[in-house]
Structure 1
């Protein structure tokens, strides 16, 4: 009998230790089963509450939503003026379809557009902000990606700050993500190629310092094109990827475009053409509330500021007037 066999026999014969560890495994297994049942029960409860009841938001939450709608409305006004195609996407579009507006726990907004229109928007936004007296309110930001390369910037973010009480508080925000057309796509896994191209993109944006050249190199690395094709995918600057919170998706262009307007709160905004296709691709069974939720914590920060509801109300009045008279 070899040494391994002797050790195994001795371990098995040590019935006290074996029974102890077996009992511990049984105890932990039962705890896991109870936790899973509790989680399933809570999930069913949240589905009932959020999908079958009409919940009334607090004054602060309602004010946040009203100002956020005006930011979307401003985006829509600018895009219509310059003939740019855009869409609400991600959780914002999911909220429009499943909740007729904001997802109850969501406190930011997502939008997307093809890269050519995205670049045009970046060019015209400063002029439109100045023309409409919003320079002190809306700040143009390109999210930092220091985790990759120091100084690398990413997708467009629009933050709305208050000015009537000294400023310094971002009241709401809109993320704008670029999309690209693929020359050819046969259903293959492009995850690693995408991640490699992402690292190269962020390296080039710092080393070269020229956005247009960096994008052209990225298009070459990923075999992308400016011309409309049968497939489109999220731009490399976004949060999607094979190892990220949001999975990388390749979409059929004719299921996404032309963008179709949908009701979101009291306004309509463009979204993916085939809502069922888009939401199933991203979320699977999108009618159910997920068991794990993601929070951005903006509402938690806003609650700390004295007079925050009044601040919102003043900014809403100002922004509504700008949108009502937009030219």
Structure 2
């Protein structure tokens, strides 16, 4: 039996995924009639829980990147056969006879055998005529957002259908979940009725072993910093995990630390002499000729964590790693902050495209400038480009400003934040011990993630790296 907290988590996942589905045209969807005529009582119960009113439900949730308000009329038949007066645009049913009966009167979404995670009705899925609960509501919205959907029977399941029906896939519908992920979520919900869901089956079911390996790298970094009195903080998802979970985010597959530039310079001056080189490797463009990321890493020797991108460089160290990011000063004036962010993004892109060996592009913008820049980077060695990059990122470090930005990290586009948010480190439990975090970690996490205590949808809780091979070496024995 599922706990209420877990059941709400699965239901919220369903709502969030459907509300942001790319295949639904929310600019077209206005006020449409959708009727549920379904024998599955749990489906009806779930719909009633989702909709605040039985007839009309409106939400101000951002939908597919726009702020359109969703207005959709839902009715529940409750055993009453639809009449001409109340006939909907779309009828949702799991009853074959009803789908056949109304195929010439409206667009019918035939669900087949509905299954899904976190719901009492969940059944053993079949590849033939099966629909995931995530896709039932999503498919109804997809149909309602078509301008001129014809009468007939449609289905959104995997494989074939046991009655004559058109697959919505051929019309552009996209499943929110793969068949394999659906099965895993279903099994997880049956085995762990009181545990919030995540895909803990990544890396051959050895995600926990990866976490242990990451802690080895973190503790070596921490040892060097403590010994030499160097200040640092947990950063990114690692900081989020410490605050929200008191440990790793359960589905995360990397660790981040962050430093101020002066502390980072001190770290660089001692790391090569201090690091236990039998176990670890400090990776930078200076220590690894094939590595050119703007941030550095500590790698675990004798292991492998090879991504689709990194696998292109056969001589690069590819062990399990933690990332080391640097926060630099930026201007206190907003216009100069924006210019600094833009220039940083641009020069970072130059280095990356030189490293990758691809033409310069900048998010599909500034095409003429990108063509000219491609010619420039083609005839410029990568070391020179990296020097331009470092000078750009550190430009304001010589000025007495009070603002920082994430010049080497993924939150660069968020712009500047007050330097005082980092301040004197506090210590929070992260796994088995305590590590340093920003003095105002609440503000910093809001800057990075918004409502950081809200979990992402359950079905998106997956490891993020595009990994092609993992080897734990002696640490997997």
Distance (whole Å) between structure 2 residues aligned to residue 127 and residue 25 of structure 1:
74
Change (3 A) 1:253 1:59: same
1:238 and 2:409 matched: yes
Match for residue 278 of structure 2?
A: 136
Deviation of 1:299 (Å):
10
Task: Provide, for residues 175-211 of structure 1, a one-character-per-residue CA deviation record: whole Å limited to 9, x for no partner.
Answer: 0011111242337644433323535778688354885
Q: Secondary structure at the match of 1:23?
A: coil
Aligned to 1:295: 464
Structure with greater contact order relative to length (CA < 8 Å, sep ≥ 6): 1
Change in Cα spacing, 1:143 to 1:25, as seen in structure 2 (3 Å) is farther
Aligned to 2:217: 71
The aligned counterpart of 2:86 is none
Which one of 328, 334, 337 corresponds to residue 186 of structure 1? 334
Cα separation, 2, equivalents of 1:62 and 1:200: 36
Equivalent in 167, 173, 176 of residue 321 of structure 2: 173
Change (3 A) 1:80 1:141: same
State whether structure 2 residue 295 is matched by structure 1 residue 155.
yes
Report deviation, 1:96.
0.9
1:23 to 149, 154, 167: 149
Query: Residue 277 of structure 1 aligns with which residue?
Result: 443
What is the total number of aligned residue pairs between the two structures?
Answer: 260
Provide the C-alpha distance between the structure 2 equivalents of 1:108 and 1:300, rounded to a whole number of angstroms.
15
Alignment of 1:1-327 (within 5 A): 22-23=148-149, 49-50=195-196, 60-129=206-275, 134-142=276-284, 152-162=292-302, 172-186=320-334, 189-190=338-339, 191-198=341-348, 206=382, 208=384, 211=387, 215-216=390-391, 218-220=393-395, 224-226=396-398, 229-235=401-407, 237-241=408-412, 247-291=413-457, 292-293=460-461, 295-296=464-465, 301-302=470-471, 311-312=474-475
Equivalent position SS for 1:50: coil
CA contact (8 A) 2:299 2:322 kept: yes
What secondary structure sits across from 2:427 in the alignment?
strand
Counterparts in 2 of 1:24 and 1:77: CA distance versus 1, 3 Å: farther
Unaligned 5+ residue runs, structure 1? 1-18, 37-41, 53-57, 145-149, 242-246, 315-327
Which deviates more, 70-79 or 94-103? 70-79
TM-score, scaled to structure 2: 0.45
Could you say if the C-alpha distance between residues 284 and 98 of structure 1 is closer, same or farther in structure 2, counting changes exceeding 3 Å? same
In 1, the alpha carbon distance for the partners of 2:392 and 2:428 equals 36
Cα distance, 1:68 vs structure 2 = 2.3
Distance of 1:151 and 1:266 partners within structure 2: 32
Instruction: Give the superposition deviation at 1:77.
Output: 1.8
Deviation at 1:264, TM superposition (A): 0.3
Larger radius of gyration: 2
Q: Over residues 87-112 of structure 1, what are the superposed CA-to-partner deviations in whole Å (9 max), with x where a residue is unaligned?
A: 11001111111111111111211111
